[in-house]
Amino acid sequence: MPGKLKADQAGSGKAVRFTTIKVRLDPTPEQAELFEKTFGCCRFIWNQMLSDQHRFYAETDAHFIPTPAKYKREAPFLKEVDNQALIQEYNKLSQAFRVFFKNPESFGCPRFKRKKDDSDSFTACNHVFESGPTIYTTRDGIRMTKAGIVRARFHRRPQAWWKLRRVTVEKTRTGKYFCSILYMVEEKRPEPVVPNAETTVGLKCSASHFYVADDGSMADLPGWMRRDQKKLAKAQRRLSRLRPGSRNYQEAIQAFRLLHEHIANQRKDFIHKESRRIANAWDAVCVRADDLTEPVPGVPQSNSKDAGFGMFRTCLRYKLERQGKALIAVDRYVPSTRTCSACGTVRDAVSYKENTWRCPECGAVHNREINAAKNIKAQGLAQYIEASERR
């Protein structure tokens, strides 16, 4: 999972990085019932604090959020769950208001939570006392407050010097429980790698090939969405014929969610493996800083959303940073597609349906996407050199 590097500590040459290990939980019926209570209590305490904040603001024109302790007398069921989960809801609500007041145009005002709209999750921080930590991992499980040791499936183990900071338990729509364990790692900051033209690659996101590199190599999607399209259509047709609320309807909903979850897992697997391969093979990667929320002319919306370009860019960034390498984002308005990579001539327009075109000045024939990747690489290297000179 993505890790975040902090600044060097007192010039020691070491940095603090946060990394997450996500594991599958196998709770007992009693532990699952406790998790469900915790999900409901977190949603309840969020709505109560937000309601009181609105009322206090309307009466006094001042911002104030009550603490969870205020509600335990009127709602004694809050004492049955981990107090840390309730405290974290208070911290999340406070943070939501802080970013809203700081930038209202980008962050909306916190809203009330509804069971059918929001995913079930709660967060608990680890505290270390003389008797030991409140949360720790065992050979085949995780020890949590109130729940005890919950069986877990570890795909990898943390190192001995990693410090466990907090855990986040979530329940997917398919009924599976997962736990994200956040660790704080103190490590030596990697030495910056200086890229050059031979060790730098330029990538152009493509709807037909996922991405195209400046050397002509392409990464084709595995085709999981197309292969499973018939299954999705069949499940949707069956679902539309059933009566909502019936047993068969619930079974069809579960099958439909499992199929979507399977496709999402395939997408994540492909993106992580491809981003790791690129991060290990190159010293720098140049991409265009496209706004992935805007529709691309000539590209169906389903293709751009299913591909996962944003996740691919995020994975590339943090995997490169961990090795001291750079992800160079080129301005999205650079005319990379209609600029000749051989002589620099800029054409008036290039159609998205035009795969190849000839430069009117030098006569070079270009593949539209490979030519764009070459221009992205050249612009990215120029930006990197300019930034290095300023430093």
pLDDT at 299 (0 to 100): 52
Last residue of a domain, one of 188, 208, 228: 188
What is the band of 1 on the pLDDT scale with cuts at 50, 70, 90? low
**Do both 89 and 16 map to the same domain?**
yes
Q: Which tens digit of pLDDT belongs to each residue from 102-132?
A: 999 888 899 999 887 767 999 999 999 988 9
Residue scoring higher pLDDT (367 or 70) = 70
User: Which residue range(s) make up the domain with 86?
Assistant: 4-188
Same structural domain for residues 106 and 219?
no
Is residue 200 within 8 A of residue 283, CB to CB? The reply is yes
Rounded mean pLDDT, 70-98: 94
Contacts of 213 (CB under 8 A, 6+ apart): 201, 202, 203, 204, 370, 373
Same domain, 326 and 227: yes
Average pLDDT over residues 350-378: 84
Q: What percent of the chain has pLDDT over 90?
A: 51
Q: Which residues contact 46 (CB under 8 A, 6 or more apart)?
A: 89, 92, 93, 112, 113
Cα–Cα dist 305/328, whole Å: 23
* Beta pairing, strands 128-129 & 132-133: antiparallel
* 153-186: pLDDT as tens digits: 999 999 989 999 999 999 999 999 999 999 999 8
Three-state DSSP at 107 gives coil
Domain boundary among 134, 155, 188: 188
For residues 206 and 338, give the distance between their C-alpha atoms in angstroms, rounded to a whole number.
16
Output the six-digit token pair for 125: 């921080």
For residue 257, being part of any structural domain is answered with yes
Q: 256-291, pLDDT tens digit by residue?
A: 999 888 888 888 899 999 999 999 999 999 998 877
Residue 86 sits in the same domain as residue 235 = no
Would you report the helix, strand and coil content of the chain in percent, each value rounded to 5?
40, 25, 35
Query: How many separate domains does the chain show?
Result: 2
In a domain, 194, yes or no: no
Classify residue 61: in a domain, yes or no: yes
The torsion defined by the Cα of 81, 82, 87 and 91, in degrees rounded to 10, comes to -100
Same domain, 146 and 244: no
Which residues are CB-contacts of 338 (< 8 A; sequence separation ≥ 6)?
Answer: 346, 347, 348, 349, 350
pLDDT band of residue 10 (cuts 50, 70, 90) is: very low
- Is pLDDT above 60 for 298? no
Q: Are residues 147 and 44 in the same domain?
A: yes
User: Does 130 share its domain with 236?
Assistant: no
Of 14-18, 109-113, 306-310, which range is least confident?
A: 306-310
User: For 174-178, 234-238, 327-331, 350-354, which range has the lowest pLDDT when averaged over its residues?
Assistant: 350-354
Residue 193 falls inside a structural domain:
no
The distance from CA 171 to its chain's CA centroid, rounded to whole angstroms, is: 17
- 193 DSSP assignment: P
Question: What is the C-alpha to C-alpha distance for residues 277 and 319, in angstroms, rounded to an integer?
Answer: 10
Task: For residue 127, tell me if it sits in a domain.
Answer: yes
Q: 3 φ, ψ to 5°?
A: -115, 155
Residue % of the chain over a pLDDT of 70: 91
Q: Which of 188, 217, 252 is the last residue of a domain?
A: 188
In this structure, the answer to whether residues 243 and 178 fall within a common structural domain is no
What are the tens digits of pLDDT across the range 22-49? 999 999 999 999 999 999 999 999 999 9
Please report, for the domain that includes residue 253, its CATH number: 3.30.420
Same domain, 153 and 205: no
